[in-house]
Structure 1
C-alpha cells in the first residue's frame, strides 16, 4: 500500500501581517506545489525549493503553521521536523509552507505570548541552522539577523530571542528571566565559600539553569568536587575543595568561559525533586492544596523546565517534609516528645511501644486536662472508635471520647497504632486508658462488636463495665448479610425497624418491631434474635448509656484528623493537642457566661418534656409513688427516680410524667436531674488547661540524650499519589443501604432486564414460529 501524498503549497516572496487577534496572514509572492510523504528527505525538499525560488540551500528557512494555530511558525530543519509536519496534517490534503532566505531580511514577528503546543516548542538546535563562529568574529555579512553585539536573533516558539555565539546563557536569561535573575550569581568564582558540598551542589544546579548549560561531575568525594560543562570541547570548569581545618567549602579553580553555543534544552535541565521542592515550598506553605498539575505549569512558566506529574508529586512531598519535618525523624523524636508532654502537662500519660527491631508499634497519649475533666464532670460513658490513617506509613488512630454535660464530644485519649495485630492493639490501648483515668464506678462502653475489641473490654475492665454494641455497625451487618436476597426497599424497612426496636423502652415495643421484621423475612427475624440484643437494645441492656446508641461520638476527631493526617506523627499529634487545647479553652469561657442550672442543651430538653406535662393528671398511690394519666397511664416512683415509660432512666433527665409529679407535689425538678447535666459539672469538665509543648526538633539539635531508638514502621503504601479516602458515615445514618440493581422483568436482584435469563427464555419462546410450536405439541 503506497504512502498518502501531502501537497505542500510552498510560498515565498510575500510578507506576513499581524491581525488584531494576534494571528498572522501571508500575502503576495509566488506559490509552488510539492508532493510530500514520510519518505521525503529535507535535503531533497530544500533542493527542489532552491531550484524553484533560486535560494541557496544552506541559507534557506522553511516554516509552517500548526493546524488551527496562525500565531506560531514552526521551523523545518531536519528530517524529523518534516515527518512531524506530515503527521500533523495526516488528515488534510495540503499544507501551507513558507520559504524565506536568511539574507532576505524576513523573520517571524513577535506576535503572541500564548504558549505553543508541545510539538511546537522547538529547542535552540531545532529553531534555526546555526553557523558556528569563534568568539568575537563578526557574521553580520552572512547573517543579517545578527545584531551589533555579535549575537543571532532566532525564533523560539513565538518570540524573537537573541542567542550569544559565545555562550547559550543569553537565551535562557531572556526566556527564563526569573531563573536568571534569581540564580545567575549563585556561582561567582574563585574563593567563593559554601557551608557544605550540598550547598555548593544546590548553587551549581541553579547556576546551570540560569545560564542554560548542562554539566557533569568528574570527581566527587568528601574532600573535593570537580565539575565540567557537558558539551564536548567546552572549557567551562569549576573545582571546589574543603578549606583545611574547617568545615567550609571553597572554589579553588574555575574557568568561567563557555563555547558550547547554548547546549541547554528543556530535556537537559536537571529537574531533581529536591530542587523543585525547594522552589515550591513557600507556595505550598501559603497554599497547602497546591496541586501537582499547578506545580508543573508554574515551573514551566517561571523556569522553562518541563516536569511530568509524578515528578511534581514527589517534589511536593519533598517540600512538605522541608516545611513539616521528616516522617522518619518524627519517629526518632517520639521518646523526647512523650517526655515533653508529661513535663509541660503534669498528670498526663504519654507512652509508646516498639517492636524487637526498634520499629514503631504504637503511641498513646491522654492529657491531664482530659483525665481530670472526665473524672470530675463526665458521665461514666466512653465511646471507642478508630480512624484509618492515609499516611506514608498508614496505621490507625484509636480514640476514646466521652460526653460532656451538654452532649458535646469530650476527647479523653487517643493512640496511633499499626494494623498488624488489632486485638493486641485494642487491649494495649484500653490498658493504658484504665491506668490513665481510673474510675470507681462501672463504665459503659459504646463500641463496635468485633471479637478483638469485645474481648479486650471484658479482659481489661472485667465486671466493672458494660459493652453496648454500636447500633450503626449492627444495622450495617444486617444489611450486608441480607444483600442479594431482598430488594432495596425491603432492606431499608428492616433496618428502620431494627433502629426502632433498639430504641424501644419497653419489651412490648421491641417485640412489635421484631415482628414487623419477621413479617418481611423470618430469616431476618432470627438474625435479630441471635445478634445479642442484650448489648444493643434498650429494653435488655443493663448499663447506662444515656440513650447514646452509636460509637460515632468521635466525629470531632474525624474533622481534626483530616487536617493533620499527612503530617509526621509528632506533628499530627501536636495538631490534635492544639485543637483540644483550643476546644477546652473555648468551652470554659463560654460556660462561664451561663446563668442556667443545667447546660443549654439539657435545659431545652427539660423544657420540651415540661410542656408535655401541662395536661397530665397526677394521682398519688402511696408515699413517693404516683399514677400519671396522659396519652398513657404511667407509674412514677420519685424516690427511685423511676418511671414506667423508662424515659427517666434512659436519659438521666426527668420525663414528662416525673415533671408532672414534681409540679404536683411542689418539688424542684432540677433536684431530679443527673448531676452530669448541671452547668457546674460542665465547668469542672473544662476546668483544667492543656499547655503547649516545646519544639522537640530544636531540643534534639541541642543535644538531648535519647536512649531509646525508634525507627519508622515498614511503609505499607506504595510511592506515588495516594488513593482517595473513603467518606465517613454520619453517626446513626440510615443511608448506609445502597440501592441494589433490580430486574424490572422478573423482580430479581443483581441484574437488569437486558441480562435477565428468564426474560431471555421468554423472548425466545415468543419469537418461535407457530409451525415449530405445533410440532412440539404433536411430539
Structure 2
C-alpha cells in the first residue's frame, strides 16, 4: 500500500445514533476532506485536523470505523494507530474520521472532598460530543456540590443515573454503572446487548441462542455468572458473587425446541466480577468481536486483543483467552484445518489437472492421519532441466501451523544467481525416512520430466542439444540421513553431495569439548570457511594449519569430516562456488508468510508466489539486451578488465602461460585454469580472458550456457497455472474420493511458540572469562586460583 493515498472525510459536531441492527450512524455536524498516506506523521495529521475544526490539540480525540464494521469505534492516539488506519483502508478510496472533544475540568484541588487535581468529562461519563451548555452545567453543578468527576461510588442496587443518588437536574444527569463512573466507550460497545434478556416469558429458538444472549447481557451489565444447571433442555444460572440474589432459569417449552425464561430475579447486590476476569468472554465471543479486525490485520497480536477488549468492553482477558479466540477467528476466516486435510486428495488431483506434467503425491498413516505431501510443478521441473545449472540446494523449515510439521525443499540457482524453486514437501517431522522419501519423489519428478520429451527440437538446438542426463550436485547438510539418502537414492546416477558449510561449522562448534571463548570460536569458523574456499591443496593446508595452531581438537575434527565433500581444493563436482544450502531464503520467506494457513491454502499460497515469480522474471528478461544475464555480465566485465594487464605466452597447443600477480596455466580446450576460478564459477577467469583475447576469439563463447540470457528465458518459459476456486470441492465431491485424510496427531501447544536457539546460537554464546586468571568457564568470584592464593597468605 506504500504510496497509495486515502481521502480522509473528517466529521465533527454531530452525534451517533444506533439503528436496530446495532450499527452506529453519524448525524449532523460539519465535514472536511484531506489526503493522507502512510508517510504522514501523526503529529502533522492531528495538527491539520485540529486546524480544520478549530479544536484544541490537547483535548481532541480522533476515531474511525474499520471497513465493514460500523459497531466499534477505533481510536487514533499515536503513530502506530494512524498507520494501522491507513493500512486497514488499503482497498478503499476513502476513510471516515470522527473528531470529538474531551473537555478538561479546571483544577479542582481546592474543591471540598477533592482527591484529584484533573478529571476529564469522559472519566465522569459525560459524552464527549455533548452540547456545550450541558457540559458547562455539569461543571457548574459539580463545583457547587463538591462532587468531583471521576470519583467512584460503591452503589448497591439498580442505579442508572447520578440523580438516583443526589438531586441533579435531569437534563444534565450523568449515567453510572454499578461499580463506579460510567465509561462511554464501554457503553457504546455494549448498549446493544443490554436488553438481550428482558425477563420472564422471553423466548429463544435454541439453548445456544439463550446462552449467547445471556453472555452478552452479562457483559453489557458488567457482572459474571455461573451455571447451576446446563443441558440441552434447561439452563439455570446465578450471579457468581456469593450472596447476590440475581438468578435466571429457562427451559424448553413442551413439544417445541423453543427455550423460554421461566424465572428471573433481576436484582444485583454485588459489584460484579467481569472487570477482574474475562470468564464470560468465551473464545467464540472473542472471535466474533475481533474477526473483522483480524481480517484487515492478520498480524493482530493476542496482547493487542487483550488491550482492545479491555478498552472497548471493560473485560480483562488473559493472554490465552485472546490467543484461543484468535485461533477460532482465523479458522472462521481461512477455513477449517481439518477440512483442508480432508480436501487434500481432491486438491492434488486439481494441481495435476490444471498443471499437466506436475507431480503431487501424499501418504497417510495406518489410522488415515496425514503423513507427507510432495509437490513439484511442471514449470519448475521444465525450467530446471532447460535453463538451470545442475545444482540443487536441500534445506528445511519448521512450520508454525496448528498441526506443526516441517517443509522440505529443493531449490536451484537460475542464470542470474537468483533462487528458482523446484519441489517441496510437507512432512510430519524432519527425519531420515522423510528425507529419503522426498529424494525418491524428486528423482521420479525429474526423470518424468525428461521422459516426457519436454525439449522440443527447436529448443534443444537452441541449447546445443542438452544430454538426457546431467551430473547433479546437491548442496545439503551431511546430517539427518542425507549423506546416506543422497548416495542411496541416486546410486545409479552420477551425482555429488557437497556438504553445507554453514551446518558443518555449527557442528564443529557443537562437538568441540574444550572451553573456548566466543572470539576464538569465531576465528575457527572464519578459518574453516577460508579452508573451504581455498582453490588449491597448498592454500587448504595453510588455512588448516591456522586452525591447528588454535586447537588440535578442531584440526582433527575437520580432517575427519571428509574435506572432499566441502573443500574447493578437493571437491570433484561443480557447485559454482555455492557453499551453503540456505540459498533459497526467498522461498522460505514465502513459506513463513503462509505456514499458519490450513495445508491446502498454504500450498496454494506458495503456488501463487511461484506463478508470480515466473511471470515477473519472464517479463523482465524480455527487456535484456546483453548476451549474459545482468549479474553474470557484471562479473564477466570485472574479469575482462582485470585480465588486460596480464602477459600471455602463446604456444601451438591449447595450454598457455599467463603472468600477472602469479603464474597460471590456462587450458582452452578443457576450459580450465590452474587458479581454478574458471572451473569453480563457469565463467572465464581473468587469466582465461587474457588468453582468449590474445587468440582473437570471443570470450562469450567460453561462458557456461546457463548464464546466457537465452537459457534464462528458457528457465521461465513455462507457467504455473492457477487452481480455479470455483472448482473447489463441496462435501459430496470430497466424499466420493476413496482416500480419507485426517490431521496428524501432533498439535501446536497454545500461546506463542517457544523460540529455540539454533545450534550456532548455542555454540557461539558468550563464555565466562575470569578477570584474574584469564581462564574460561568461571568468573573472579569462583576462581580456584584466587582462592588458592588467599589460602597461602
- State the TM-score, normalized to the length of structure 1: 0.73
Summarize the alignment of residues 615-654 of structure 1 with structure 2, pairs less than 5 Å apart: 615-654=645-684
Deviation of 1:483 after TM superposition, in Å, equals 5.8
**In the TM superposition, what whole-angstrom CA distance separates every residue of 1:582-614 from its partner, at most 9, and x where no partner exists?**
211111111111111000010001001001111
**In the TM superposition, what whole-angstrom CA distance separates every residue of 1:65-86 from its partner, at most 9, and x where no partner exists?**
6xx89869xxxxxxxxxxxxxx
Question: Is the 1:333–1:697 Cα contact (8 Å) retained in structure 2?
Answer: no
User: Which SS does the other structure have where 2:633 is aligned?
Assistant: helix
Residue 539 of structure 2 corresponds to which residue in structure 1?
A: 509
User: Which SS does the other structure have where 2:426 is aligned?
Assistant: strand
1:431 pairs with 2:440: yes
User: Which SS does the other structure have where 1:398 is aligned?
Assistant: strand
With over 3 angstroms needed to count, the CA separation of the structure-2 counterparts of 1:516 and 1:253, relative to structure 1, is: closer
Deviation of 1:189 after TM superposition, in Å, equals 11
Q: Which consecutive unaligned segments of at least 5 residues does structure 2 have?
A: 1-102, 121-141, 451-468
With over 3 angstroms needed to count, the CA separation of the structure-2 counterparts of 1:567 and 1:252, relative to structure 1, is: closer
User: Which SS does the other structure have where 1:740 is aligned?
Assistant: coil
Residue 482 of structure 2 corresponds to which residue in structure 1?
A: 453
**In the TM superposition, what whole-angstrom CA distance separates every residue of 1:653-695 from its partner, at most 9, and x where no partner exists?**
0111111111111111111110100111111111111122244
Deviation of 1:206 after TM superposition, in Å, equals 3.1
Deviation of 1:281 after TM superposition, in Å, equals 1.2
Residue 719 of structure 1 corresponds to which residue in structure 2?
A: 750
In 1, the alpha carbon distance for the partners of 2:579 and 2:182 equals 72
1:741 pairs with 2:741: no
Question: Is the 2:611–2:719 Cα contact (8 Å) retained in structure 1?
Answer: yes
With over 3 angstroms needed to count, the CA separation of the structure-2 counterparts of 1:337 and 1:19, relative to structure 1, is: closer
In 2, the alpha carbon distance for the partners of 1:755 and 1:215 equals 57
**In the TM superposition, what whole-angstrom CA distance separates every residue of 1:221-277 from its partner, at most 9, and x where no partner exists?**
3xxx44566469879665567998xxxx6x575679864358783439621111111
Residue number among 582, 585, 592 corresponding to 2:615 in the alignment: 585
**In the TM superposition, what whole-angstrom CA distance separates every residue of 1:320-354 from its partner, at most 9, and x where no partner exists?**
22222232322222222212221222211111111
Deviation of 1:306 after TM superposition, in Å, equals 2.6
In 1, the alpha carbon distance for the partners of 2:308 and 2:555 equals 62
User: Which SS does the other structure have where 1:531 is aligned?
Assistant: coil
Residue number among 159, 165, 176 corresponding to 2:187 in the alignment: 176
In 2, the alpha carbon distance for the partners of 1:581 and 1:476 equals 35
Residue number among 261, 267, 270 corresponding to 1:260 in the alignment: 267
Residue 384 of structure 1 corresponds to which residue in structure 2?
A: 394
Deviation of 1:220 after TM superposition, in Å, equals 4.1
With over 3 angstroms needed to count, the CA separation of the structure-2 counterparts of 1:293 and 1:282, relative to structure 1, is: same
In 2, the alpha carbon distance for the partners of 1:510 and 1:467 equals 20
In 2, the alpha carbon distance for the partners of 1:132 and 1:628 equals 99
Deviation of 1:723 after TM superposition, in Å, equals 1.8
Residue 303 of structure 1 corresponds to which residue in structure 2?
A: 313
User: Which SS does the other structure have where 1:376 is aligned?
Assistant: helix
In 1, the alpha carbon distance for the partners of 2:396 and 2:569 equals 28
Residue 6 of structure 2 corresponds to which residue in structure 1?
A: none
Deviation of 1:154 after TM superposition, in Å, equals 5.7
Residue number among 600, 608, 614 corresponding to 2:644 in the alignment: 614
**In the TM superposition, what whole-angstrom CA distance separates every residue of 1:346-385 from its partner, at most 9, and x where no partner exists?**
2111111111111111111111111111111111110001
User: Which SS does the other structure have where 1:27 is aligned?
Assistant: coil
Q: Which consecutive unaligned segments of at least 5 residues does structure 1 have?
A: 1-17, 29-63, 73-103, 134-139, 162-172, 769-779
Alignment: residue pair count: 638
Residue 511 of structure 2 corresponds to which residue in structure 1?
A: 481
Residue number among 754, 763, 781 corresponding to 1:754 in the alignment: 781
**In the TM superposition, what whole-angstrom CA distance separates every residue of 1:53-100 from its partner, at most 9, and x where no partner exists?**
xxxxxxxxxxx96xx89869xxxxxxxxxxxxxxxxxxxxxxxxxxxx
Residue 70 of structure 2 corresponds to which residue in structure 1?
A: none
Residue number among 561, 568, 571 corresponding to 1:531 in the alignment: 561
Residue 324 of structure 1 corresponds to which residue in structure 2?
A: 334
User: Which SS does the other structure have where 1:361 is aligned?
Assistant: strand
In 2, the alpha carbon distance for the partners of 1:282 and 1:654 equals 58
Summarize the alignment of residues 192-341 of structure 1 with structure 2, pairs less than 5 Å apart: 198=208, 201-210=211-220, 220-221=231-232, 225-227=233-235, 230=238, 251=258, 253=260, 259-260=266-267, 265-267=272-274, 270-341=280-351
Deviation of 1:174 after TM superposition, in Å, equals 9.3
With over 3 angstroms needed to count, the CA separation of the structure-2 counterparts of 1:71 and 1:669, relative to structure 1, is: same
Question: Is the 1:235–1:255 Cα contact (8 Å) retained in structure 2?
Answer: no
Question: Is the 2:229–2:237 Cα contact (8 Å) retained in structure 1?
Answer: no
Residue 720 of structure 2 corresponds to which residue in structure 1?
A: 690
With over 3 angstroms needed to count, the CA separation of the structure-2 counterparts of 1:749 and 1:255, relative to structure 1, is: same
Question: Is the 2:157–2:267 Cα contact (8 Å) retained in structure 1?
Answer: no
User: Which SS does the other structure have where 1:495 is aligned?
Assistant: helix
Q: What is the root-mean-square deviation in Å for CA atoms of aligned residues?
A: 3.9
Question: Is the 1:350–1:365 Cα contact (8 Å) retained in structure 2?
Answer: yes
In 1, the alpha carbon distance for the partners of 2:585 and 2:384 equals 18
1:465 pairs with 2:466: no
